[in-house]
Amino acid sequence: MNAAAWNENGISRDAIETEITAEKNDEILVAALALHAVDLDAWQLDVLFDPAELEFVEGYEETPDLPNFLKSKGGATLWMPPVETAPGKVRLAATLIGSHLEEAPDGSGVIALLKFRVVEIADKTSAALSDVRFLDSERDHDIIADTMGGRIKPPDTTRPSVEIASPNEKILSSEAVTVLFSEPVTGFEAPDLRICNGGITDFSGDGAAYSFMLHPLEKGAVRIDIPAHAAEDESGNGNTAAVPHVLECVKNQTPVISGTPPGFLHAGTACLFTPSASDPDPGDRLIFRIENKPEWAEFDAATGALSGTPTNADIGTTRGIIITVIDPDDAEASLPAFHLTVGELQKSDPDGQDAAPPDPSDLSDSPDPSDPPGENGGSSGNGSGCFIESSGNSF
């Protein structure tokens, strides 16, 4: 006893809907179906229900939209209108007139329709089939034990809830944001989002999950709201308002770099200078860049290290060397420009002592006397002739 979907091949068990939604005082129409009947000539059945929950109104053999299966091969029928034989029990029956095998149908279809009024809705308000009997044209009698009942349930009035989430509470720039409803909804679109101090792009999603990119307009609080009734579930219930999602947009801070680069070294002397760098913003990964790198030197963009061993062919001065540190948001800081002079290969005195570094004024490419300390060949150095102050980087 169910509602069902029709097709040219009849009705399958999978197509039958065993539930209907109704409210108090609603009138509902319930169909009794024969499934996979063979040579059906007559039938009788009882419908059982709780009279405190359902009230029987009347029964029908068919409607214009739901023709009677027993008549499907052209036979005439004798319809015995339903009778409530006891509280909560309705009996109904029908038979083909005469005994004609060619008029007895095979297959599935509606054999009766019953109208009920809903008195009260309980958790298990239902109507069930009982004492179902089929008779074929040879007057053979079958008692049908495999039956399916129907359930009447109250309307779904639960409103879907919605949650807004993002990976971070403090953001420097754009942030991915997700919106999750408690159940699938329709009608939710980008204009339903209320954004204070921000804009969105790349809105997408369906059902219960949506996402977009949030772009703060300026430093400070960025608030996202979703009002009530922005979307609906399949029962037409509008969502409840979301708890406002507030992010803090913090201004990106510039990294810091320090260190005293070498100013002079002899040919044949290995040199290594690594500046110290850090970033006030936690988690920022730093990279380095160099301008006017000496041809004989190597530069590590991950650490900022300048290293190498010049030869006599490299004697001279490289001017305007600049080492810069850069954070993920392209904020950068640089060491002051410096010059690096390579002098001739250092020779030893006859007594075995190393000779002192040459006077920078004797070099063919002498630095400008106006250069600041630490940027010219006049800087003091260590015993190797490489003027270095190195320290570790902080990322």
* Percent of the chain with pLDDT strictly greater than 70: 83
pLDDT-derived band at 120, boundaries 50, 70, 90: very high
- Of 366, 380, 384, 360, nearest to 272 by C-alpha is 384
Pick the CATH number of 256-362 from 1.10.510.10, 3.30.2020.30, 3.30.450.20, 2.60.40.10: 2.60.40.10
pLDDT given for residue 366 in this prediction:
39
State the Cα–Cα distance between residues 307 and 298, nearest whole angstrom: 5
CATH 2.60.40.680 fits 13-153, yes or no: yes
pLDDT given for residue 252 in this prediction:
81
Residues facing 30 on adjacent strands: 114
Domain 162-249 sits in CATH at: 2.60.40.1220
Q: Do domains 13-153 and 256-362 have the same CATH topology?
A: yes
pLDDT-derived band at 11, boundaries 50, 70, 90: very low
State the Cα–Cα distance between residues 336 and 339, nearest whole angstrom: 10
The residue-averaged pLDDT of 149-164 equals 92
- Of 150, 151, 133, nearest to 142 by C-alpha is 133
Mean pLDDT of the chain, nearest integer: 85
Least confident interval from 122-126, 171-175, 253-257, 260-264: 122-126
pLDDT digits (tens, 9 = 90+) for 245-296: 999 998 788 999 999 999 999 999 999 999 999 998 877 899 999 999 999 9
pLDDT given for residue 280 in this prediction:
85
Q: Where are the domains of the chain?
A: 13-153, 162-249, 256-362
